[in-house]
Amino acid sequence: MDWLGLRGKGALVAGAGGIGAAAARALADAGADVVVADRDPRRLADLGLRTLEADLTDAGGARDCVTRADELLGRLDIFVHAVGVNDRRPVLDTPDDVWRRILSVNADSAFWTGRAAGELMVTRGYGRIVYLSSVSGLLAHPHHAPYAASKGAVDQLCRVMAREWAASGVTVNAVAPGYTETGLTRDHLERPGVRDGLTALVPAGRLGTPEDLTGPILFLCSDQAAFVTGHVLYADGGRTLV
């Protein structure tokens, strides 16, 4: 995998859930030096990689996490933001605290960590930032208002960062999965009829897996994607075509 140019690069992955863990392992397999951050020590314990326990919904905590990762790695070249929560309910049944929590975890953490990583990368003239977005940032799924709003915010944040930092050798892109088999979706998919109903919406005829996303993530982190920035890559089995 040396053609990707990832060997020896310093990478921070925020989020040790299904997609974040898969991305971290794929980066390590490609030769990158990886640190994974999460606020849940149980998720970090099983990775077999260097880890940082951090609350990224706090601006100071996010900046401190990026700084500590930079120190551990010697140089932060790659940042992958794979943090996300959801709470499926109609708009009229969504309490204020649910809205604030989802926007805090999904969007605030994206801004604060991305800004801290970008500051280091712009100064050094090189960097790759990849956000995990969602098809919900484009499609109007019912019962997804805070989640969809947060992922739409991530898409636009990605584009603005890309525009501002392109001349400094820093690319900022997003990968937007369709429904993917992770801890975030497990309970919902186990409800009667939900899995079959969602699968029927995917032209590929199946739901995604975290491993389906590692190729796109690795590419956008790589030297092969030096001229790709501000792009939202839909890895969804054709879901956004329907």
Q: Report pLDDT for 184.
A: 67
pLDDT on residue 30: 97
Please name the helix (run of DSSP H) or strand (run of DSSP E) that holds residue 105, with its range, or none: none
All structural domains of the chain, each given as residue ranges with its CATH number in brackets, are 2-235 (3.40.50.720)
The predicted structure's pLDDT at residue 125: 98
User: 89-123 b/e with 16+ CB inside 10 Å = b?
Assistant: eeeeebeeeebeebbebbbbbbbbbbebbbebbbe
CA separation for the pair 211, 164 (Å, rounded): 31
Low-confidence ranges of the chain (pLDDT < 50): none
Question: Which residues are the active-site residues?
Answer: 147
Residue 96 — φ and ψ, nearest 5°?
-60, -40
Residue 206 to residues 55, 77, 118, 193, 201, Cα–Cα distance (Å):
34, 34, 36, 14, 9
pLDDT of residue 190: 83
Nearest to 79 by CA among 41, 100, 110, 39: 110
The C-alpha atoms of residue 15 and residue 218 are separated, in whole angstroms, by 16
Q: How far apart are CA 40 and CA 1, in angstroms?
A: 31
pLDDT (0 to 100) of residue 28: 97
State both tokens at 62.
Answer: 């996010």
CB 197 within 8 A of CB 168: no
Sheet architecture: strand order including 10-14: 50-53, 33-38, 10-14, 78-81, 127-132, 170-177, 232-235
| Maximum pairwise Cα distance, the chain | 52
CA 112, CA 44: separation in Å to the nearest integer?
A: 21
Q: What is the pTM of this model?
A: 0.94
